[in-house]
Amino acid sequence: MRPTRSSTVPVSPAETITNAIIERLEAGVRPWRQPWNGGPVSRPLRVCGTPYRGANVIWLWMAAQARGFISPTWMTYHQSQLLGGQVRKGERGTCAIFYKSYSKEVEDAATGEREDEARRILKSFTVFNVDQIDGLPERFTPEPIPLPEPTARDHALDAFFGAIPASIRHGGGEAYYLPSADQITMPEPAAFRSRDLYRSTLAHELAHWTGHQSRLGRSLSNRFGSDAYAVEELIAELSSAMVGAELGLPVDHLDDHASYLASWLKVLKADNRAILTAAAKAEEASAFLLGFARVEHAPDALLAA
């Protein structure tokens, strides 16, 4: 059982997010599943249309899922007022997080000299989903964007994945990335229930592929020790969810195996900032993969992003 804390002791944004994620994982639910059905797939969006990044993606997805919000757009109370909107009476806001940088003058214990030291502090602010606000301009409640015809969409997605220069071998019944050979092994596409589930699984393995020393050089052993493998799996899971949000793919390619949930819970309970690190690494991996969309035959939606 997690220790309780006095109601007079403030809870940090990192602890709030981590505790909520732990509760969802203990319930057997991965909270970063895309919550919007029947409309365009999206990350949570700022009022200006810019996607949220890092841990805010997971956190605002969770809030939308738990409270039944359809819109991906979030804004502050003041922003809603500037747009002529009004948050409905009784609606509760959701916290979003950011890092604030500042400098502090410190004294060197050895020399006695004083110098400025750069520091970062995690801060939070309150946002409301568009579904909680009345009177906003019509552009905040657009008609659902129809998906392209299956053949055109398949062609675009195949072009995207084909542009990623990973070595992929097909065969067998398992999907995995082998760092020593820098190679991904995948079952044949026909072995999956749908082509999209194949692509989702491939996105997960490609997230592992980004961590190779010749690419992002992702090393977790110094920070997480024996838990590095669990954190790497969590990074791949989050990254593939982020890529899936951009491409309109399902993110249920990895079953809710008890071993995965237990390992993630162990890490999150031991370090309430682990999810922030994992989300940042996942953001880096997903951006690396989506960068390959800047090619001649990439999906138009990605080229315009």
Structural contact between residues 290 and 250, judged by C-beta atoms closer than 8 angstroms: no
Binned at pLDDT 50, 70 and 90, residue 5 comes out as very low
Separation CA 105–CA 41 (nearest Å) = 46
Mean pLDDT across the stretch 6-34? Answer: 74
Query: Range with the lowest mean pLDDT among 34-38, 67-71, 142-146, 197-201?
Result: 34-38
User: Residue 278: is its pLDDT beyond 60?
Assistant: yes
Mean pLDDT across the stretch 5-9? Answer: 51
Alpha carbons within 13 angstroms on the beta-carbon side of residue 152 total 7
Question: pTM of whole model > 0.85?
Answer: no
Q: Cβ contacts of residue 96 below 8 Å, gap of 6+?
A: 52, 56, 59, 60, 74, 124, 125, 126, 127
Mean pLDDT across the stretch 263-281? Answer: 93
Identify the bridge partners of residue 102 per DSSP, sorted by sequence position: 119
Q: Cβ contacts of residue 168 below 8 Å, gap of 6+?
A: 183, 184, 185, 186, 202
What would the two tokens of residue 118 be? 């750069």
What would the two tokens of residue 93 be? 């806001």
Give the residue, 272 or 28, on which the prediction is more confident.
Answer: 272
Radius of gyration (C-alpha) of the chain in whole angstroms: 21
- pLDDT tens for each residue of 177-198: 999 999 999 988 877 778 888 8
Alpha carbons within 13 angstroms on the beta-carbon side of residue 35 total 22
* pLDDT of amino acid 145: 52
What would the two tokens of residue 79 be? 């922003």
- The CA-atom distances, in angstroms, between 95 and each of 61, 76, 128, 268 are 12, 10, 9, 20
* pLDDT of amino acid 256: 52
* pLDDT of amino acid 23: 84
* pLDDT of amino acid 104: 73
* pLDDT of amino acid 37: 45
Structural contact between residues 237 and 204, judged by C-beta atoms closer than 8 angstroms: yes
Work out whether the CA dihedral 184, 189, 195, 197 comes out positive or negative. negative
- pLDDT tens for each residue of 68-118: 787 889 999 999 999 999 999 999 999 998 877 667 777 777 776 777 777
Separation CA 58–CA 79 (nearest Å) = 22
Separation CA 69–CA 101 (nearest Å) = 32
* pLDDT of amino acid 250: 76
User: Residue 6: is its pLDDT beyond 50?
Assistant: no
